[in-house]
Amino acid sequence: MQFAITKTGLDVFDTARAWGLAAVASARAQSDVRIRDRGWSFTIDVQNAHTAVVGPSPLLALIDATDENWSFIFITSSQEERKNKISDVEKCIKSLTNTSLPQITEKISESVFTSRGKTLPGGLDPGGFKGVRQQTRARYDEGQLRVNADHWALACLGMVLCATYQRIGSGSVPRTIALLPVPLDVTVAQWAEIRELTRWPRATPGTSVSEPRLSRQVAGSAAAAQAAVQLAERVRKRAVAQGSLVDRFSDILFFELFKTGNQQKPAQGNRIRLDRLMAMIQHDATVAEGVFEWLDYCFRRGSAKGAQDLALAAADFVFRWDVDSYDRLVRLFVRYLVTEEIRLAKRPSEEVIGEVLRYVSV
Amino acid sequence: MSQCEGLQDIYAHAAVRGFGRALRIALRQQKDFSSLVDLDGAERPEDFAEALKRFLRRFDALARRRRLRRPTQQMLEEIAELVDSYGVKVVRAAIISHALVAVGRPETEEEVSEEVVEEEGNGNAN
């Protein structure tokens, strides 16, 4: 059975809905779910849809009210409002649980934008903030963006399961970056796998050191680029385990939030393309491992005070893959080597650099 | 000059490899930061040629002392041709790429043992 999430132009909202629906469908059908980006829509194919069981299912385990992602999604709401909103999401998802798969198709085919719907939170998609969608000039009276309750719940669920909110910067103004991988063609066996594949563990004392996690970067673009490299490494491992590159991601969407006086506001947002990283895995997964390790090291080393230029250069390179950015990165890397700020053991091999150069546009 | 299509081909070019290897040794053995700064600052082909010339002059002392192989005149000419065809940035990036890579086992002084060869029979670009 196939579901379609028609894109609205709000990239994060659209992708989050696709992930949310994939999780619901996977939990309902208890079978493989394939998420594909078709350009104008995301399609979700559920195998063995006929075996789907209506009623209590592992679906409710999907919603973990203690997940700290909720506090970022509803970052503009008070604690009480947040609790009520999480409860609303639970109700909507529960209602989807009690309907058959064909009925879910009907429900999600309803119009997304509706004046009687739920307010799209700015922490979920920066398009939800006022003043972003259109010019407000002197008067600040833009209305809230309201969306259909089912789509709203699916987007919230997708964002809770698949997005990562990470603190960045070192100044007095706290900044947060939200990262959401965009599936190009991903198949997952169960909903919990979606979370494992798309989220980064938070750096807490309990986190294993060996577990790859994002360094605290000065710039949001550096955090996003490191996320891209680490996601590519996860995909590479899956490709090695499966024997070929089955799962592909197209981009990572990201946007920053920062606190003004007493309100959160969106800062820069963008997407980082993963096509070159995916092509590397396809070409040679073994050499790709070395490439990802080297780039990740540049980000980790560049997260230290005084070496941030290395992370920024690596981020620029992962965004652009051109000679200018590559030239800047290698010159910085060599400089750090000469000054012994980078250990010799961290140098990439000739083969790794050769592979990187294969994808640099001249 | 061989037909080059991308940065990877330039990286694999024998002349680039030769200069990259020499730069790697100079940076490791001599901490030749000056050459790196010279190369960084080169924007036009003439500046780049001048930077390479200065690098070779500095490298020559080390090569004589440690009996290392030096880039040849032919290599220098080929580099000049590559610069004319692809520009300074591309060739510099390819040369510096060789300077940062690990050859053989990491953490060892592999360059010295690997690169020490008889000086006889090798040309001098200077």
Please name the residue of chain A whose CA is at the shortest distance from the CA of residue B17: A350
Is residue B67 within 8 A of residue B118, CB to CB? The reply is yes
Which one is predicted more confidently, A168 or A279? A279
Residues of A with CB under 8 A from a CB of B: 323-324, 326-327, 330-331, 333-335, 337-338, 343-345, 347-350, 352-354, 357-358, 360, 362
* Chain A positions in Cβ-Cβ contact with residue B6 (cut-off 8 Å): 357-358, 360, 362
Q: For CA atoms A299, A300, A304, A310, give the dihedral sign.
A: negative
A244 by Cβ neighbours in 10 Å (0-12 / 13-18 / 19+) ranks as exposed
pLDDT (average), residues A126-136: 74
Mean pLDDT of chain A: 88
Yes or no, beta carbons of A347 and B102 under 8 Å apart: yes
Distance (Å, whole) CA A20 – CA A194: 10
Yes or no, beta carbons of A354 and B90 under 8 Å apart: no
pTM value? 0.89
Yes or no, beta carbons of B96 and A353 under 8 Å apart: no
pLDDT digits (tens, 9 = 90+) for A22-52: 998 888 888 889 999 999 999 999 987 666 5
Distance (Å, whole) CA A169 – CA A267: 13
Which one is predicted more confidently, B117 or B25? B25
Which ipTM was obtained for this model?
0.81
The pLDDT assigned to B122 comes to 40
Helix (H, G, I), strand (E, B) or coil at B15: helix
By Cβ distance, the residue of B7, B27, B33 closest to A362 is B7
The pLDDT assigned to A118 comes to 92
Q: How many CB pairs under 8 A join A and B?
A: 74
Which residues in chain B (49-108) have CB-CB distances under 8 A to chain A?
86, 89-90, 92-94, 96-103, 106-107
Return the domain boundaries, chain A: 2-129+146-283
- For residue B71, the distance in angstroms to the closest alpha carbon of chain A comes to 19
- For residue A219, the distance in angstroms to the closest alpha carbon of chain B comes to 25
At residue B106 the predicted structure's pLDDT band, cuts being 50, 70 and 90, is very low
